Structure 1
Amino acid sequence: MSIPNLLTGFRFVAAPVLLWLAWNGRGFAFMALLAVAFLTDVLDGFVARLTHQVSDFGAKLDSWADIVNYLTISVSCWWLWPDIVRREALFVSFIIASFLLPPIAGFLKFGQLTSYHTWGVKLAAASVGLTLYVLFLGGPAWPFRTAAVICLLAAIEQIAITLYLAIPRSDVGSIWNLMNRNAR
């Protein structure tokens, strides 16, 4: 097993621990472990490119880990901060939809998980990761709400990529890159 895939695999191992921490009301420990999970999400692709270990399997593994991670975050935050989640329900639903609808579109069209890892998705993941801390540690809601809109826009782009492609591909920078490359 490669180091990038081990970094990705950490998120699968962390998910039940995050759920346990949330269920037991350990918000600080939850946020600390979540920070490590977010860090492994940032590092896995970087290390894969650095060590020339980029693979279709690794891209798909990363996408599955993202789905597990964000569903875990959704449930855990509901358990830890139900009042905030209720107050921000519309924006929470934007984020959940943005991580579920693109894979569903990929399954419907290609019969498999898509793993585009666009710049929009990277921006969305980073913005959600950062603004979760702001929101749940008592800061203002507007950064989280902005991140939710960014997630929705990134999801729309992923769905557009799925509709545009004839066969599935991994690691597509953006819909514009894809269209420009095919126009040449």
Structure 2
Amino acid sequence: MWTLPNLLSLMRLFLVPVLLGLAWVGKGAAFFWVLVGSLGTDALDGYLARRMNQLTELGARLDSWADLTTWLVLPLCGWWLRPAALMAELPWLAAGLGGYVASVLVGWWKFRRLIAYHTWGAKALSWLAGAAVLVFFAGGPGWVLRALTPFVLLSALEEVAITLVLPRWQANVPTLWHAWLLRRNGVELTAGSSAAPAPHADPP
């Protein structure tokens, strides 16, 4: 459990109440830099897990819980720190957040546990979303949240489709195509491995 990638994910979990507290008391500058640190650990833990060959099911689940809790509290933090700017983008924000939560709920309904696919689309989205929220909390325009919404919905739709296709819970499924190959070929993966198809998975 006590690998460096897992510790970084745990740290991101512990930063969630810190973010809430700073936003509640109106410490916008401190909140911004703690958010930078939180998003930095999000980018670093997966990279280190792959680099150090420490991909595990526990690590995937910790990372997913840290992502979920962080992204769910950010709208509330935005309400406390920049209420007018947030209200102007509320319909778009609600649509994106609704899609994200829906993908999580569908996964929980089918597998009774938090999904941890870490798809390529979700990884690209994490960079876009990280940049957008940093711009927003730095005092930038609110429309960056609006521009992010279509990408959030596309990523959520792919994760819902992966959940419906997979016969059982599986961490680290890069794309819907990989999920389909897993279902078609009955490929079993070790915990925390990427869902890459075998070179000769098709029957002769």
**Structure number with bigger Rg:** 2
Question: In the alignment, what sits opposite 1:18?
Answer: 19
Point out the more displaced range, 137-146 or 153-162.
137-146
Say if 2:8 and 2:45, in contact at 8 Å, map to a contact too: yes
Q: Is the 8 A contact 1:125 1:151 kept in 2?
A: no
Given that 1:15 and 1:72 are in contact with CA atoms closer than 8 Å, whether structure 2 keeps it comes out as yes
Is 1:157 paired with 2:158? yes
Report the secondary structure of 1:62's partner residue.
helix
Q: Give the structure 2 partner of residue 83 of structure 1.
A: 84
Counterpart of 2:96 in structure 1 is 95
What is the CA–CA distance in structure 1 between the aligned matches of 2:178 and 2:127, rounded to whole Å? 21
Question: Structure 1 stretch 89-98 or stretch 165-174: which is displaced more?
Answer: 89-98
d(CA) in 1 for partners of 2:143, 2:23: 24
Q: How far apart are 1:173 and its partner, in Å?
A: 0.7
User: Where does the alignment leave 5 or more consecutive residues of structure 2 unmatched?
Assistant: 186-201
Contact 1:172-1:178 at 8 Å conserved across structures: yes
**1:93-146 deviation per Cα after TM superposition (whole angstroms, max 9, x unaligned):** 133223311121111111111100001111222111101222343434443322
Note if 1:172 corresponds to 2:173: yes
How many pairs does the alignment contain?
184
Q: Which residue of 1 aligns with 2:41?
A: 40
Identity %: 37
Residues of 1 paired with 2:32 and 2:139: CA distance? 13
Q: Let me know the Cα RMSD of the aligned residues.
A: 1.6
Change (3 A) 1:11 1:92: same
Counterparts of 1:122 and 1:78 in 2: how far apart (Å)?
26
- Alpha carbons 2:166, 2:180 under 8 Å: kept: no
1: CA distance between counterparts of 2:99 and 2:66?
Answer: 15
Q: Retained in 2: the 8 A contact 1:98–1:152?
A: yes
Shift of 1:5: 0.5
Q: Distance in 1 between matches of 2:141 and 2:64?
A: 30
Q: CA deviation at 1:73?
A: 1.1
Cα distance in 2 for residues equivalent to 1:95 and 1:10? 26
Q: 1:28 aligned to 2:24?
A: no
